[in-house]
Amino acid sequence: MSQVPKFTKIQELIYELPIARVMKKNVIEVSPDTSMTELKEILRVNRISGVPVIEEGRLVGVISIEDLIKALVEGDIQAPVSKRMTTKPITVLESESVVEAVKRFAQHKVGRLLVTNDQGDLRGILTGGDITRGLLEAISLDYHAEEISRYRAKHIFEDIVSDKTSLLLRYTVRGKDFKSGGRASSKLKKALDRLGALPEVIRRVAISAYEAEMNLIIHATDGGELIAELQPDMIRITVIDQGPGIPDVEEAMSPGFSTAPNWIRELGFGAGMGLANIKKCADSMKLESQPGVGTKLEIVIHLKPESNGEATPPEKKEQEPL
Amino acid sequence: MIPLKEIIEKLKVEPLSSISSLERQVAGGYASDLLSCVIKGAKKDSLWVTLQSHLNVVAVASLLGLAGVIITENNRPDQETLNRAENEGVILMTTPKSTYTVVGQLTALGVKGNEED
């Protein structure tokens, strides 16, 4: 039984985001001989709760507001920082992912981590609040990027002006390649979703495209091509192969008629319902075939239910509630 | 709507997909081994009962937005099919029982066919 763990967006980000993206840079530092009184002013003025202690460019400790309170209680406020600081501060590398920082917070129960590079130079400082802020920012950036690309896709027909704009999506379908069955129609379905088509329309397009794609896989000598032409108010799917061709188109259209060999029927195909299903989903369909030459199937579906497309009048629809 | 989780527990079918996606709700049921019939007859959020277990089962289930597929008589999809199901968010389950038995048990749980609404 396969159980691939699923991650939430936050969990993914915790593993993906480097600490450098969320840490505070431009860290305020103090030297070991700064007095605790001076430290109090530094913390107050900058509204921070702790600073690293640096001696000749080297990180020697960290001192926080907690240390300051203890010094006040003990009347040791004149002491130098070096006397009250925590030596051996907990550090993380700027290149590590945020999850490492989370682990270290849990392990050491400290309020802040000092961030260094590979050489041990101080690069930044990190608190729990920085992580939260960083994650929220990353999520909203992600969300924006997705929103923007969706918006752009939806408005493609308004943004690009011509007398007649259409978008052409071509999918090559290989013959007898059952393992790839549904790939082309699934891609087309995703494209329409991105372009903001109505769910009911997407479903009809996806079903028609799937049946046509399977026909290419099952019947066409050498596969074929599925071309979807998108216009602002309709989609025209043209499916072309180079043979073997259909001897009697009318017979092929009748529900239940199938020429599929037994091994294909055993896979659950060849019910003789493919073309009938397409006809049911399409606003209009046209099937032309010449034995020995090839077959061309054209399916038109209106993207807006109320529009009665100008190119081809729709055939009567069977129980389409939309 | 009946939670898929409840159906899995009551029918003792074995889920082959991630547990986290089992929050799905089941709106109805459909049984057939002919893919085009399923495409024609199965509604969105339905549970599909079949003994087919190959890749195109996932394609059809994904296409229709089905709640899940119960594969009967101990038929098991291969790893490639399982991977594709995981990618497409299709929930596959398997059981040693026959399609007839599973459909009977689903009906007893209140999972209805299209015509019964």
Domains present along chain B, CATH in parentheses: 2-112 (3.40.1390.20)
DSSP H or E segment with residue A169: strand A167-173
Contact (CB, 8 A) for B34 and A271: yes
Q: In this predicted structure, what is the pLDDT of residue B78?
A: 92
Q: How far apart are the first and last CA of chain A?
A: 41
> What average pLDDT does chain B have?
91
Q: In this predicted structure, what is the pLDDT of residue A317?
A: 42
How far is A236 from chain B, CA to nearest CA, in Å?
19
Each residue of A138-190: pLDDT tens digit? 888 777 777 777 777 778 777 777 888 889 999 999 999 988 889 999 999 98
* Residue B41 contacts A where some CB pair is shorter than 8 Å: no
Q: In this predicted structure, what is the pLDDT of residue B94?
A: 96
Asked whether the predicted pLDDT for residue A294 surpasses 80, the reply is: yes
Task: Kindly report, as residue ranges, where domains of CATH 3.10.580.10 are found in chain A.
Answer: 9-134
Cβ-Cβ contacts under 8 Å between A and B: the total is: 86
Mean local confidence (pLDDT), A89-114 = 89
Percent of chain A's residues with pLDDT above 90: 50
pLDDT range class, residue B42, cuts 50, 70, 90:
very high
Q: In this predicted structure, what is the pLDDT of residue A311?
A: 41
Taking an 8 Å cut-off on Cβ atoms, the answer to whether A269 and B56 are in contact is: yes
The verdict on ipTM greater than 0.90 is: no
Q: What is the identity of the amino acid at B86?
A: E
Each residue of A217-251: pLDDT tens digit? 999 999 999 999 999 889 999 999 998 999 999 99
How far is B50 from chain A, CA to nearest CA, in Å?
10
Mean local confidence (pLDDT), A300-317 = 59
Q: In this predicted structure, what is the pLDDT of residue B38?
A: 93
Asked whether the predicted pLDDT for residue A194 surpasses 60, the reply is: yes
Instruction: Choose among B35, B79, B88: nearest Cβ to A268.
Output: B35
List chain B residues with CB under 8 Å of A271. Answer: 34-37
Mean local confidence (pLDDT), A243-265 = 90
Instruction: Choose among A1, A183, A268: nearest Cβ to B33.
Output: A268
Contact (CB, 8 A) for A239 and A215: yes
Taking an 8 Å cut-off on Cβ atoms, the answer to whether B86 and A271 are in contact is: no
* Residue B86 contacts A where some CB pair is shorter than 8 Å: yes
Instruction: Choose among A4, A179, A268: nearest Cβ to B18.
Output: A4
Instruction: Choose among B39, B52, B64: nearest Cβ to A211.
Output: B39
Q: In this predicted structure, what is the pLDDT of residue A310?
A: 42
Mean local confidence (pLDDT), A263-279 = 89
Chain A positions touching chain B (beta carbons under 8 Å): 1-6, 178-179, 181-183, 185-186, 189, 203, 206-207, 210-211, 214, 267-269, 271-274, 276-277, 280
Q: In this predicted structure, what is the pLDDT of residue B20?
A: 60
Taking an 8 Å cut-off on Cβ atoms, the answer to whether A271 and B34 are in contact is: yes
The larger pLDDT score, comparing residue A44 to residue A313, is at: A44
Whether the pTM exceeds 0.80: the reply is no
CB atoms near residue B82 (< 10 Å): 19
Query: Class of the A9-134 domain?
Result: alpha beta
Task: Kindly report, as residue ranges, where domains of CATH 3.30.565.10 are found in chain A.
Answer: 163-302
* Residue B14 contacts A where some CB pair is shorter than 8 Å: yes
The larger pLDDT score, comparing residue A39 to residue A157, is at: A39
Q: In this predicted structure, what is the pLDDT of residue A300?
A: 97
List chain B residues with CB under 8 Å of A268. Answer: 33-35, 50, 52, 54, 56-57
Asked whether the predicted pLDDT for residue B21 surpasses 80, the reply is: no
The larger pLDDT score, comparing residue A57 to residue B58, is at: B58
Q: In this predicted structure, what is the pLDDT of residue A207?
A: 92
Instruction: Choose among B15, B39, B52: nearest Cβ to A207.
Output: B39
Q: In this predicted structure, what is the pLDDT of residue B19?
A: 61
Mean local confidence (pLDDT), A7-13 = 70
Domain A163-302 has CATH 3.30.565.10: yes
How far is A226 from chain B, CA to nearest CA, in Å?
17
Burial of A8 (0-12, 13-18, 19+ CB in 10 A): exposed
pLDDT range class, residue B22, cuts 50, 70, 90:
low
Mean local confidence (pLDDT), A55-72 = 90
Asked whether the predicted pLDDT for residue A2 surpasses 50, the reply is: no
Contact (CB, 8 A) for A131 and A98: yes
Tell me, letter by letter, the H, E, C secondary structure of A245-300: CCCCHHHHHCCCCCCCCHHHHHCCCCCCCHHHHHHHHCCEEEEEEECCCEEEEEEE
Q: What is the identity of the amino acid at A253?
A: M
* Residue B51 contacts A where some CB pair is shorter than 8 Å: no
The larger pLDDT score, comparing residue A119 to residue A40, is at: A40
